[in-house]
């Protein structure tokens, strides 16, 4: 097996979950027995693992797929709502930027409350990465060159003349907001479980 097929089996095992780990090991052992390229076999196994997990846990799979869409739409709504207030000088710049940064907070709190453990972490991680990718994709579609995108003229939260947060700092601040919300949701869940138990 090459590094690619090995990685496919590792990710497939992770997607399949603990209940099906033995089956993924079985598929990987067969891939080891193939004389020649085992990529097609590994891709089939990866597909089988994803399909099986989706079938067993379809409500969570739909949730994982929908969460980034819902958060992105909510973020856009908050952005336009607060931008107009900021433009009319009804709220200060810092408050508008704080609203943008904190807009995914309720979702990241909610996820660990409805789903326990690694599943919640996966859902939040996927949503975070997808939501962070939205401005990048938008900028690239608007024809902003990567040199400018990563350069000093680009700001993650550009809010003249007040608050300016650069790309890396912007992502770090977003990450801190998501992580804090996730931690809060997990702590609340633990508390609820303790109270119920």
Q: Which residues bind other proteins (CB under 8 A)?
A: 20, 22-23, 25-30, 32-34, 40-45, 47-48, 51-52
Q: Please state the closest distance from residue 4 (CB atom) to other proteins, in A.
A: 15
Q: Please state the closest distance from residue 164 (CB atom) to other proteins, in A.
A: 49
**CA-wise closest residue to 78 among 91, 61, 60:** 91
User: Which of 23, 149 has the CB closer to other proteins?
Assistant: 23
Q: Please state the closest distance from residue 60 (CB atom) to other proteins, in A.
A: 19
- CA angle, residues 30, 36, 39, in degrees to nearest 5: 65
Phi/psi of residue 161, each to 5°?
-90, 10
User: Which of 39, 72 has the CB closer to other proteins?
Assistant: 39
**CA-wise closest residue to 158 among 49, 83, 48, 56:** 83
CB 118 within 8 A of CB 182: no
Three-class DSSP category at 103: coil
Q: Please state the closest distance from residue 14 (CB atom) to other proteins, in A.
A: 16
User: Which of 35, 194 has the CB closer to other proteins?
Assistant: 35
User: Which of 50, 122 has the CB closer to other proteins?
Assistant: 50
């Amino acid at each position: 097996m090459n590094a690619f097929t090995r990685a496919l089996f590792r990710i497939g095992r992770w997607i399949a979950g603990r209940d099906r780990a033995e089956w993924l090991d079985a598929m990987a052992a067969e891939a080891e027995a193939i004389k020649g390229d085992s990529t097609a076999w590994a891709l089939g196994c990866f597909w089988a693992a994803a399909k099986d997990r989706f079938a067993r846990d379809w409500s969570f799979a739909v949730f994982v797929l929908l969460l980034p869409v819902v958060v992105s739409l909510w973020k856009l709504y908050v952005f336009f709502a607060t931008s107009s207030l900021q433009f009319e000088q009804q709220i200060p710049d810092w408050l508008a930027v704080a609203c943008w940064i904190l807009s995914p907070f309720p979702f990241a709190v909610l996820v660990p409350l409805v789903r326990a453990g690694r599943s919640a972490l996966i859902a939040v991680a996927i949503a975070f990465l997808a939501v962070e990718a939205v401005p990048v994709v938008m900028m690239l579609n608007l024809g902003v060159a990567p040199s400018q995108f990563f350069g000093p003229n680009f700001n993650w939260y550009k809010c003249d003349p007040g608050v300016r947060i650069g790309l890396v700092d912007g992502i770090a601040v977003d990450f801190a907001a998501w992580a804090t919300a996730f931690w809060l949701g997990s702590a609340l869940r633990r508390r609820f479980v303790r109270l119920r138990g």
